[in-house]
Amino acid sequence: MAAAGVPPTPLVLGLDLGGTNLSGALVASDGRLLTPPIRRRHSNGGPDAVVSEIGEMVVSICSRAKRPVTAVGIGVAAQVEEGSGVVAFAPNLRWSNVALGTALRDRTGLPVAVVNDARAATVAEWRFGAGRGVSDLLLVFAGTGVGGSVVSGGRLLLGDRGASGEVGHSILIAGGRKCRCPGRGCLEAYVGGWAIAERAREAVDEAPTEASSVLREAEAVGNLDAAAVGRAARTGDPLAVRIVEETAGWFGQGVAGLVNAYNPARVVLGGGVVQGWPEMLVAVEQAVRTHCQPPAAGAEVRRVALGAEAVLVGAAAVARDRLTAAVPT
């Protein structure tokens, strides 16, 4: 029986809005999931449609909770102005200046914390996962896009407008491939899932005889994505193997440059491309040892510990922190 006067722990819902999928679950204060995560493709049909889909998921999860949900945290694949909850720029959602926090609060009646997805995952990995115990941490996520976040001196870096840590848009090859952001040659334009798919399609078109039937068939049905490249590489397809090796080499060099710039004690890597392609972690470890200057070259390199739910776990943790900060003690 709960002691009289001790309020129950707030019940917080975490969401993860990516370029393709939306997922959500109730999250405990120690980072454990209290409900199995729900995951579905969203329409990517603009802010109104997506807010409506998010609202439906919130209602659906809340309806299964035994007591009222008190806050929502949402991690978004976007540059977010955290104070205002505005999504400043989301290339993969094709949003700019969307007041997501306000729209979701109006729709759900709950306080909403909007957080950059990589930063949410950083909070989760730093508190509950592969980053525990470290004060200087670099997280890089290579999924559809490439995001990242930095903890320096025991503090998560925010930057002037909350956009620090957009490491996917640091330069890999100046003047190189067009990115989905306004720039060219960004790390994401080479190792993000969309960029891998684009490079694979180009490679098949340029060298149709070299391309295995697997890659050509995938392209023919409009399904030549990063996952298809990974599968083809596992079967020894030479073109796919070359794409995987190039991608890993680029990722290694890009992350090593970031390690020079930030000098983290530990680098934690995640996202679909890292999880699916073991070459990525190996390449980063090697590049950090050979490319970086001492003492930065000594950084540990690890894989994320929390898996696909890190973003929603971290977003929930941020929402919980804000509740705690808002309640006078």
Q: Which positions lie near a second copy, rule CB under 8 A?
A: 79, 81, 88-89, 91, 96, 135-136, 148, 152-153, 155, 157-167, 169-176, 181-186, 190, 249-250, 253-254, 256-258, 260-265, 290-299
Least Cβ distance, residue 181 to a second copy (angstroms): 5
**Buried b vs exposed e over 22-36: b needs ≥16 C-beta within 10 Å?**
bbbbbbeeebeebee
Q: At closest approach, how far in Å is the CB of 285 from a second copy?
A: 15
Rank residues 23 and 92 by Cβ distance to a second copy and give the closer one: 92
Q: Taking the complex as a whole, how short is the minimal distance between the CB of residue 229 and a second copy, in angstroms? A: 19
Nearer to a second copy, 122 or 170 (CB): 170
Q: What minimum distance in Å lies between the beta carbon of 56 and a second copy?
A: 30
Q: Are 202 and 192 in contact (CB under 8 A)?
A: no
Q: State how beta strands 146-152 and 137-142 pair.
A: antiparallel
Smallest distance, a second copy to C-beta of residue 72, A: 24
Contact between 149 and 121 (Cβ < 8 Å): yes
Q: Whose Cβ is closer to a second copy: residue 167's or residue 311's?
A: 167
Q: Nearer Cβ to a second copy, position 16 or 188?
A: 188
Cβ-contact 304, 129 below 8 angstroms: yes
Nearer to a second copy, 166 or 309 (CB): 166
- Spatial contact of 240 and 215, defined as CB atoms under 8 Å apart: yes
Question: Phi then psi for 242, rounded to 5 degrees?
Answer: -65, -40
Task: Give the shortest CB-96-to-a second copy separation in angstroms.
Answer: 7
Tokens (6 digits) for 103:
């729209």
What tokens appear for 259 in the block? 């390690």
DSSP 8-state code for residue 34: S
CA distance linking residue 325 with residue 78, whole number of Å: 25
Nearer to a second copy, 136 or 321 (CB): 136
